[in-house]
A = this chain, B = another copy of it.
Amino acid sequence: MSGRRWSWPRRNTPDQVRDRQARLRALPQWDPAHDFVWEWPLPAVQFAGMLEALTAHTVLPVSVVGPLRVTLGRYRLDDTGALVEEGRDTDELYVPLAHTEGGLSASMQRGMAAVLEGEPVRTHVVRDRMTRDSCFLFETTEEALTFARWATANAGEMRRWLHDPANLLYGQRVGGVPRLSRHARLWEVDTHVLGPACHLLYRYTTGDACGPNMITRNSFALNGEFVLPRLRAATGLQPERVLLESNMGGDKKPSAQYFIEGGHGKTVLAEVTVREQTLRRVLRTTARDLVALEHLALHGSHASGMQSVAFTPASAVAALFAATGQDLGMVGTVGGGTGLPHARAFLSLLRCDGPGAAIRLAQVVAAAALCLELSASAAASRDGSESFATAHLSSSGRQG
């Protein structure tokens, strides 16, 4: 059995890739008509660093819609890690969407057309943090509280230790990767005591990367090299158990906490003003209908315990993420899937490929999602929601 266990090759050497392909071709259900999945349109080496057990590829169609007229903020971090707007740029962008949901592209396009008749979409980034929630379990609540007070008092020292260029861990490597990342900057260390457990919420910015790996490495180092030895020295306390991540940070799962105080990515507000005549002519609705929809659907959302109040932003976000190589629920413009050849092309199309691009991309995503919201809400808002239904009925717009 145990030989069996390791029989599936998992490396990305040419031999192992071919080996996996050969085994799958030999399966009874495999149809040779599908062999095109093994034939890389670009050299496989361009994909091999992304994931383990690389075996095949998939191709998704990409629509491009636009122009999206949008005014975006430029931001810097002040010395408390707060975002300061340094200026605003108006741009017209063409937005790539990788997806297969009929109607989505046409609807977003319609929203962009409505925007073109008036003021641009305006976006604002109000928070930027990636949180790792490490949990320290003690014997008693009293010890957990003592720890929480100690951590609060030592938050500044943690930051200095982590950001000290002389910290020896920057030079140490595990598996070829430095033990500390210079890109994940620590700003706050919040605590939440639940009985004998104290959650330590390390809040970082991660530059232009999405950054889950960076904050994992830095938090692991903080836990083991700073918190445990100094806590013991200062208080004699030693936790029974330390977990690097324990859910309060909101990693890949929405939570009330994220909606209330942010903490897992960039919080962007997007806004647009549409004139009544544009509502009527382009969006085939009225302000009164939209207000009624918002009211009824907000109550529907609340009554069903839904944390979102929006209509269908997830479709827009997912399509833009798929085109630009994003991880789930967080944006970045360096690292991970953003290194894919096609992702780089589409990031470049959006002018999201230099320093500061991540915060720009987050705004583009929000603005595009707002255009879809505008159009989809308009379609749903008229009495009977006929436009919404016929958008689902008809596919005639696609083929020409």
Distance to closest chain B CB from A351 (angstroms): 5
Q: What is the predominant secondary structure among interface residues of chain A facing chain B?
A: mixed
| Cβ-neighbour of A300 out of B104, B142, B199, B384 (below 8 A) | B199
The reply to whether A269 and B193 contact each other, CB–CB distance below 8 Å, is: yes
Residues A96 and B260 in contact in the complex (CB < 8 Å), given A140-B273, A302-B309, A398-B12: no
Which residues of A, 96-119, contact B by the 8 Å Cβ criterion? Answer: 96-106, 109, 112-113, 116-117
A244 adjacent to chain B (CB < 8 Å): yes
Distance to closest chain B CB from A361 (angstroms): 14
The reply to whether A345 and B59 contact each other, CB–CB distance below 8 Å, is: no
Determine the chain B residues whose CB is within 8 A of the CB of A37 once the complex forms. 62, 342, 345-346
Determine the chain B residues whose CB is within 8 A of the CB of A257 once the complex forms. 256, 260, 304-306
Distance to closest chain B CB from A342 (angstroms): 4
Give 1 or 0 for each of A376-400: 1 = CB within 8 Å of chain B CB. Answer: 0000110111101110111111111
Select from chain B the residue with minimum beta-carbon distance to A291. Answer: B295
Give 1 or 0 for each of A267-280: 1 = CB within 8 Å of chain B CB. Answer: 00101010000000
Distance to closest chain B CB from A31 (angstroms): 6
Select from chain B the residue with minimum beta-carbon distance to A106. Answer: B52
The reply to whether A174 and B216 contact each other, CB–CB distance below 8 Å, is: no
A18 adjacent to chain B (CB < 8 Å): no
A265 to B175, CA, bound (A): 42
Determine the chain B residues whose CB is within 8 A of the CB of A116 once the complex forms. 1, 4-5
The reply to whether B8 and A51 contact each other, CB–CB distance below 8 Å, is: no
A6 to B112, CA, bound (A): 10
Determine the chain B residues whose CB is within 8 A of the CB of A176 once the complex forms. 394-396
Residues A254 and B252 in contact in the complex (CB < 8 Å), given A301-B247, A393-B177: no
Determine the chain B residues whose CB is within 8 A of the CB of A47 once the complex forms. 59, 61
| Cβ-neighbour of A348 out of B34, B122, B177, B292 (below 8 A) | B34
Give 1 or 0 for each of A297-341: 1 = CB within 8 Å of chain B CB. Answer: 111111111111110101100100011010111000000110111
A64 to B174, CA, bound (A): 27
How many copies of this protein are present in the complex?
4
Distance to closest chain B CB from A288 (angstroms): 10
Determine the chain B residues whose CB is within 8 A of the CB of A351 once the complex forms. 29
8 contacts between A and B (CB under 8 A): A30-B348, A49-B399, A51-B104, A55-B96, A124-B145, A223-B384, A247-B297, A301-B302
Distance to closest chain B CB from A229 (angstroms): 13
Determine the chain B residues whose CB is within 8 A of the CB of A117 once the complex forms. 1-2, 5
Which of A102, A346, A390 is packed against the most chain B CB atoms within 10 Å? A102
A237 adjacent to chain B (CB < 8 Å): no
| Cβ-neighbour of A260 out of B36, B66, B305, B345 (below 8 A) | B305
Distance to closest chain B CB from A150 (angstroms): 14
Determine the chain B residues whose CB is within 8 A of the CB of A175 once the complex forms. 390, 393-396
Select from chain B the residue with minimum beta-carbon distance to A100. Answer: B337
Select from chain B the residue with minimum beta-carbon distance to A221. Answer: B389
